[in-house]
Structure 1
Amino acid sequence: MVLGILGKKVGMTQIFNSEGSAIQATILKVGPCTVTQITNKLTNTKTNIQIGYEYINPNKLTKSKLGYFKKYKIPCFKYLREYAINNNELKNVKLGKIINIDTLKVGKYVNISGTSTGKGFSGYQKRHNFNRGPMSHGSKNHRQPGSIGAGTTPGRVFPGKRMAGQMGNKKVSIRNLKIIKINKNNNILVIKGSVPGKNGNLIYIYNK
């Protein structure tokens, strides 16, 4: 089955392997998630399913969401996420089924998406790693961006020009991150390398 599961980033640490080398690792608290919706078939081969993560007080939900959870007699969740699965895997998926990290194994590779850490309004050097101008006394261009476009023709700045602006706070996906350790009792996953976002951020793990 195509894995799709939500979790949160706990923090980073380092783990020593059998050779004594330090490996940078990220600790994630993953699942359990519950199947909250199975939509109609998108194509002849795939169907969308929706999963919910982290229980929430029903008083904090809108009437439409609360009515849906009551209709199908499933708990209320704070986060919902949809992804597609093959139709031949539908026999293993039912409304209310709990998805956890039992399907994962140490040594396997997964993809992780999350929101990167926001760093506010940043200059073009920090944001795009541009070089600065000469720092000598005669230079009048230390950290200025310089020319940003042509003259009369076309007489405007093209969209997408790399300039100062909001840095971070965007969806970032990292592919092929290796699983180092799994603690099924506490739903803990240890991943080799870094994961987008700061501690406590919501992350989405999948293996497409």
Structure 2
Amino acid sequence: MSGLIGKKVGMTSVFDNNGRNVPVTVIEIEPCSITQIKTEETDGYNAVQLAAFDRKEKNVSKAVNGHFKKAGVNAKYQVVEFRDFLPEGLNIGDELTISDVFTVGDQVDVVGISKGHGFTGVVKRHNFSGVGDATHGQHNRMRAPGAIGNASDPSKVFKGMRMAGQSGNERVKIKNLSVAKILEDSNIMLVTGSIPGPKGGYVEIHNKASVLN
């Protein structure tokens, strides 16, 4: 599946061909450099490794810097591998732009790290309703999870029990969005709907097609 690396800018809205006002997410997609190409013969599967968004060389480890220099590109913030994607006619060190991979109307999947909300209780984290009214001896327990244990058999709390804990800050994929508009001169693509992560967060945009357009 082909794709590129982008950065979430924010949200706005555009009018479609039917005159409807459609909410869209603005994604900045700079030209992505090819840093590695994997093939069935050498690695056991086909993939291309892309890197995007320049960063200072001093802030990158020597090993990673060596990888970038071998490919002949500057140090980058994001490095992402796209499986089953072998761009024809391009070599390591070449760049892919928005128009090389996407066209208006394409169906895309967007992957990002969701906003972190810290340590939260079960009401916010799992949409529990809480114990209920402050009756029958309850006191300040409206947002409590209630009993979670079991009786003497099995006398333990099973793994995966929905409890309080870290909320958000995890990898999330939003599927079947569509490309509403491409502003290639500004390295901007508009995608219908919302995508995970805060403004300035890096995302992966996967084209549903497996080859370049």
Question: Quick check: TM above 0.5?
Answer: yes
Structure 1 gap ranges (5+): none
Alignment of 1:184-199 (within 5 A): 184-199=184-199
Alignment of 1:1-208 (within 5 A): 2-41=1-40, 42-43=43-44, 46-85=45-84, 89=86, 91-102=88-99, 103-138=101-136, 140=138, 141-208=141-208
Matched to 1:28, the amino acid is I
Equivalent pairs counted in the alignment come to 203
Shift of 1:185: 0.5
Tell me by how many angstroms 1:207 deviates. 2.0
Distance 1:159 1:185 in 2: 51
3-state DSSP class of the match of 1:185?
A: helix
Stretches of 4+ aligned residues off by more than 4 angstroms? none
Higher mean alpha-carbon deviation, 116-125 vs 34-43, is at 34-43
Q: Which amino acid aligns with 2:145?
A: P
C-alpha separation in 1, matches of 2:53 and 2:184: 17
Which one is further off, 156-165 or 144-153?
144-153
Secondary structure of 1:179's match?
strand
The CA distance in 2 between the partners of 1:173 and 1:196, in whole Å, is 8
What CA distance in whole angstroms lies between the structure 1 residues aligned with 2:127 and 2:70?
52
Counterparts in 2 of 1:153 and 1:67: CA distance versus 1, 3 Å = same
Identity %: 35
Q: CA deviation at 1:200?
A: 0.3
What is the distance in 2 between the residues matched to 1:101 and 1:108? 12
Three-state SS of the structure 1 residue aligned to 2:149 is coil
Q: 2:78, 2:17 → 1: CA distance?
A: 39
Q: Which runs of 5+ in 2 are unaligned?
A: 209-213
For residues 72 and 56 of structure 1, what CA distance do their matches in structure 2 show?
A: 16
The alpha-carbon distance between structure 1 residues 19 and 158, as it changes in their structure 2 partners (threshold 3 A), is same
Query: How high is the TM-score relative to the length of structure 1?
Result: 0.89
Query: What is the CA–CA distance in structure 2 between the aligned matches of 1:12 and 1:68, rounded to whole Å?
Result: 35
* Aligned-pair Cα RMSD in Å: 1.9
Residue 135 and residue 72 in structure 1: after superposition, are their counterparts in 2 closer, same or farther (change >3 A)?
A: closer
Q: Provide TM-score, normalisation by structure 2.
A: 0.87
Q: Which amino acid aligns with 1:5?
A: L
Counterpart of 1:189, as a letter, is M
Distance 1:90 1:143, change over 3 A: closer
**Partners in 1 of 2:88 and 2:21 — Cα distance?**
43
Seen in structure 2, the aligned counterparts of structure 1 residues 75 and 156 have a Cα distance that, compared at 3 Å, is same
